[in-house]
Structure 1
Amino acid sequence: MLAQQAHLYFFLIMGVLVLFLLEAIREMRKYSNTDNSGEVHLNVEMQHSMRLFRAQRNFYISGFAIFLVLVIRKLVQLISAQANLLAQSEASMKQAQSATAAARSLLTEKTDKAKEATEDSTLNELNKLKERVQELTSELNREKKDKEAVKSQAESLNREYDRLTEEYSKLQKQITIGGGAKGASIKHD
């Protein structure tokens, strides 16, 4: 809003200065076209030169004023553009700093999550390995029990075999000792 009003004031001042310049040009033309055809009093000629000098002075003043107003306007535009750029650069820096901070926090969060994930996976693997060790120990214990049972069964079978062979040998001896008498009676039956 202030910039729009400054724009209007600039055009108003420029219009006034252009009017002054045009007036000075008109005055210069008016007083520069003099005919020194007759006898003119020195006083009238001095007044005429003085008015021409004033018209030329006003021309130069209004011309320089127009030039300086244009320079001042350009400076104001450049200063306001610089102020806008400074504000934008500060905003961009703040935005970049906040984005950097957010990226760092996300990165640390991601690394923390990755560490937690690796810790969780190693814990899961450790738990699985513990379960596997428990299964294998229980299976080993079962196999040991089976082995002991087979051993005890084999020992009892071995004792039974020994007993049966002993009994067989006793029976064999009895058959050979009493083989003649019993053998004949068996044949008659």
Structure 2
Amino acid sequence: MSLQWTLIAGVLYAEITVVLLLVLPIASPRKWNSLFKSRFLQGIKNQAGIYFMILLAILVLFCLDAIREMRKYSNPQGDRDGHAHLDLEMQESMRLFRAQRNFYISGFSLFLSLVIRRLVMLISSQAALLAQSEASMKQAQSASAAARTFLKQQGDAKDNISNEAHDKEINELKSEISELKEKLKTAEANQSAVKTQANNLAKEYDRLAEEHSKLQKKITISSGDKKSE
């Protein structure tokens, strides 16, 4: 294998390793995204597109060269009688095998380079979506916590208002009860005064009745004395 095809094979092996690392669950998308955003990769990010296009152009050229060699050695050269020399046939078969090998190496290298680029883009997008979903989840949790706090404050305010109204009603009832007690005391005092006055009137009536009976007796006695004279 010549030097250039050895380099292409090395690129293919490196791409296979990178694809396996990206596909296997070795690290989370966040870690890969942090690696992609490292200082070293960020330093070559501006030239990454240019390097990628150059690599693709080189791989396409090598692939086209391999196809050309495959078409060149696919028809064995022999004499016009159809009898090819054995050494020449072996050499052409070996060259055809090398051309096919070079085609597979360059073709797979080209394909895996596109796959790696797509995987990097998908992993970065997944990491961004995960970060966005976490931010949305935190925002929703903070909003729900604020709503619960607001509802709790509203409930406490309603409880305070109801408690104040209840206390006010109790105070009004207490004042009414005290007023009724005062009125009851006044009525009881008036009733006792009326009873006392009634007792006094009854005693006075009894006294007057007794005096009246005494006077009647005196009058009766005096009228009898006058008749006897």
Q: TM-score range by the shorter chain?
A: 0.7 to 0.9
Q: 2-side partners of 1:38 and 1:76: how far apart?
A: 47
Q: Which residue of 1 aligns with 2:78?
A: 34
C-alpha separation in 2, matches of 1:130 and 1:123: 10
SS in 2 for 1:178: helix
In terms of Rg, which structure is larger?
1
Shift of 1:177: 3.2
The alpha-carbon deviation at position 23 of structure 1 amounts to: 1.5
Q: List aligned pairs for 1:161-176, cutoff 5 A.
A: 161-176=202-217
| Aligned equivalent of 2:18 | none
| Whole-angstrom CA distance in 2 between matches of 1:34 and 1:157 | 162
Deviation at 1:74, TM superposition (A): 1.7
What is the distance in 2 between the residues matched to 1:19 and 1:80? 28
In 1: Cα distance, 2:175 partner to 2:181 partner: 10
Show the 5 A alignment for 1:148-167: 148-167=189-208
Displacement of 1:16 in angstroms is 5.8
Partner of 2:78, secondary structure, is coil
1:73-152 matches, within 5 Å, as 73-152=114-193
* Post-superposition offset of 1:89: 0.7
Deviations 1:2-36 (A, max 9, x none): xxx9xxx7xx9687666444322211124x33349
Equivalent residue of 1:33, what SS? coil
Deviation at 1:128, TM superposition (A): 0.6
Taking the aligned partners of 1:85 and 1:55, their CA distance within structure 2 comes to 44
Q: What is the SS of the residue equivalent to 1:34?
A: coil
C-alpha distance after superposition, 1:87-131 (max 9, x if no partner): 111001001001111111111221222222222211211111011
Scaled by the length of structure 1, the TM-score of the pair is: 0.72
1:23 aligned to 2:68? yes
Change in CA separation of 1:163 and 1:59 when aligned onto 2, cut-off 3 Å: same
Look up the match of 1:63.
Answer: 104
TM-fit CA distance, 1:133:
0.4
**Mean CA deviation greater in 122-131 or 106-115:** 106-115
5+ residue gaps, structure 2, are: 1-48
- The number of equivalent residue pairs is 169
Query: Any conservation in 2 of the 1:28–1:56 contact (CA below 8 Å)?
Result: no
C-alpha deviation, 1:84, in angstroms: 0.9
Q: Distance in 2 between the 1:61 and 1:38 partners?
A: 25
Report the Cα distance in structure 2 between the residues aligned to 1:78 and 1:173, rounded to whole angstroms.
139
Mean CA deviation greater in 124-133 or 170-179? 170-179
State the alpha-carbon separation in 2 of the partners of residues 15 and 183 from structure 1: 173
SS at match of 1:151: helix
- 8 Å contact from structure 2 (residues 69, 96) kept in 1: yes
Q: CA deviation at 1:61?
A: 2.5
* Higher RCO structure, 1 or 2 (CA under 8 Å, sep 6+): 2
Q: What's the % identity of the aligned pairs?
A: 12
8 A contact 1:27–1:52 mirrored in 2: no
TM value normalised by structure 2? 0.61
Matched-pair contact (CA < 8 Å) for 1:24–1:56: no
Deviates more, 1:21-30 or 1:132-141: 21-30
